[in-house]
Amino acid sequence: MSSSTQVRSPIRPPQSSQRLGFLQGVRQSANATVLGFALVSSALLAGGLVGLAISFRNLPDVRALKSYVPSQTSYIYDVKGREILSLHDEENRQIVPLSQISPHLKRAVLAIEDSNFYRHGGINPNSIGRALLANVKEGGVSEGASTLSMQLVKNVYLSQQRTFTRKLAEAILAIRVEQIFSKDQILDMYLNYIYWGHNNYGVETAAQSYFAKPAAQLNLAEAALLAGMIQAPEAHSPFNNFKQAKARQEVVIDRMLTLGWITPQEAKSAKNAKLKLGKPTAWQSSKLPYVTDAVLAELKEKLGAEAVRKGGLRVQTTVDYKTQKLAENTVSSAYKRLRNTMYRAKELQIALVSVEPNSHFITAIVGGVDYKKSQLNRAFQSRRQPGSSFKPFVYYTGFASGRFTPDSPVRDVPMRFRDGGIFYAPKNYGGGFSGAMSIRSAVASSQNIPAVWLGSQVGINKVIEVCRRMGIKSPLQGVISLPLGSVDVTPLDMAAAYATFASNGWYSEPTIILRVTDNQGRVLLDHRPKPQLVLDPWAAASTSSVLSSAVMGGTGKAAYLGRPTAGKTGTTDNERNVWFVGYIPQMATAVWIGDDANRPLGKGITGGQYAAPIWGAYMRQVVKDLPVEHFPAASQFPRPKADKPAPKS
């Protein structure tokens, strides 16, 4: 402890007037009647404990306290260290070492709860004598005689029932504790374990809750108020009854003065000090609920539900608070604007998720339009058909085969494809055919038939293999209509896969957790990116090139950012789901709009008209502070050798 925080020991009061005060306090407490009774009771106790020890053989082994770790509060932070949520079960607790607890608080607690703590061996004969006399008069247990050691074992091991048997068990266990642990260790455990009201367990969360400061910074007035609460935390809570709490505080200060542990001037100043209260910290709602739900899901998957329940975790997420709020506000504004337009959707929802390409860190995730009404996180828990936003996986597969380039000719004409025992004749959205065109033009105008034809040429199973390498985990069926997005995927699937295009083929496992440590600073999870090249660079660059055309002058032009931008719209049959998934070199984002009951959104609702503007409104705010970067040109990389001759379209 530094010299600036050194305080007088509560056990060795200073010389002169304060030592005199301490001795007077001792003399005043040594009432002849009580002392005589205490001596008798002590003798009886000493002889009786030997026999009682035999009767209490089944008591817990207090040596387990060496490894006992109570439930603690976990804390979740954004990528820059801003707290998002404190998470706990019944016990809101943060353990701190004794050196990080205010000396004022230690002295105040000892003064009011156990002023002879450093002198006794676990039980206090004088206190037992007084309590025994009172209890005999009352005919039951009306007054306790608990030392800090006895209170500790009661809180950890025993019931709160007031019986002679439990009190005797407390005494035996307290003696055992004193034989194994030092006084400082016992005081450390006591201050970190006990209940302080409003679901605060331990002094650190109590200090943060009642005074919005760490336990190390508590002054004498604050420390005395907290010490006074131990006897009846809720009754003496300043949140519940400030007048009662203040009266109890003065009792503690007077006790410290009587013991000679503070001067009269210190007592007067503490009583007159103005108390600035904080607010309850337990059971606070998350500042970013969709983020914390995703974090908890990943924590349970990686560490197990028991580790999450036990707590004490420090979780740094990959999400930036500012970016997340931009995403939430964009979704909220879009919902207010669209709910009347999409009149057929009774349960209209919007989801948005952003992924950083170089790391595949999730930087923002919005699972719906109103978390209070629905906690379902549609960004990673709901699967919907992606429509034409699935086509880039097919076109990439074609480019990677070496047989096709962005300028390769394809035909948008009536075609039939055999799919098992039946024939499938795809149609374009809105009907009609465009005839011969390049792949680039087919992507920009989102024609369906060229995509199905290309899928049949490269093989649907090859397309699925590419999707798996890019991290799409949703089930994919090898049907001929797969290129048109006839399978169900999550917005996170799509954002992470497009992020792999944005990084020109480099992929890491998507995560919303950057790092997890325990309360001792030990690293439990470290998700520093470990990218792998999973795509052919020439084919990936070619895909970005054609997707840039789709934004510059195609169906996705509402998403153009005035800088290199790539992306693809998606609209499913009967307008049940509309999408825009796009990216710049620094970020990929997926936007989905749909109805929870999978009802149509309304006639003519398309991804280009509705999802792309939401994407653009959000991304224009995000890119303000990002430098302009360009996608790699395909000419920088060797074109893959053709696996077979290019077919005639």
Report the distance separating Cα 411 and Cα 160, nearest Å: 81
Helix then strand then coil, in percent of the chain rounded to 5, is: 45, 15, 40
HSE-up (13 A, CA, CB side) for residue 49: 18
Alpha helix (H) residue ranges in 142-273: 148-157, 164-180, 183-193, 203-211, 220-229, 242-258, 264-272
Report the distance separating Cα 541 and Cα 597, nearest Å: 38
Whole-angstrom CA distances from 528 to 47, 359, 514, 614 are 63, 8, 7, 31
HSE-up (13 A, CA, CB side) for residue 624: 8
**Beta carbons within 8 Å of 477's beta carbon, 6+ residues apart:** 486, 487
SS3 234: coil
Residues 483 and 451 sit within 8 Å (Cβ to Cβ): yes
Beta pairing class for 200-201 and 92-93: parallel
Q: Which two tokens stand for residue 465?
A: 């293999």
Q: Which long-range contacts (CB under 8 A, 24 or more apart) does 645-649 make?
A: 645/403, 646/403, 646/404, 646/408, 647/403, 647/457, 649/408, 649/409, 649/410, 649/411, 649/436, 649/453
Which one-letter DSSP state was computed for residue 85? E
Report the distance separating Cα 101 and Cα 494, nearest Å: 49
Residue given tokens 């970067």 in the structure block: 629
Catalytic residue among 127, 388, 408, 503: 388
**Beta carbons within 8 Å of 31's beta carbon, 6+ residues apart:** none
Residues 559 and 584 sit within 8 Å (Cβ to Cβ): no
Report the distance separating Cα 209 and Cα 300, nearest Å: 28
Report the distance separating Cα 596 and Cα 384, nearest Å: 10
Our CA dihedral for 599, 600, 602, 607, rounded to 10 degrees, sits at 120
388 a catalytic residue? yes
SS3 192: helix
Alpha helix (H) residue ranges in 317-438: 321-338, 378-381, 391-400
Backbone angles phi, psi at 478, to 5 degrees: -80, 60
113 a catalytic residue? yes
Catalytic residue among 74, 86, 102, 113: 113
Residue given tokens 């006897």 in the structure block: 231
Alpha helix (H) residue ranges in 56-163: 103-113, 125-138, 148-157
HSE-up (13 A, CA, CB side) for residue 15: 0
HSE-up (13 A, CA, CB side) for residue 573: 7
How would DSSP label each residue in 477-498? Answer: ---TTGGGT-S-B-HHHHHHHH
- Could you give the residue numbers annotated as active site? 113, 388
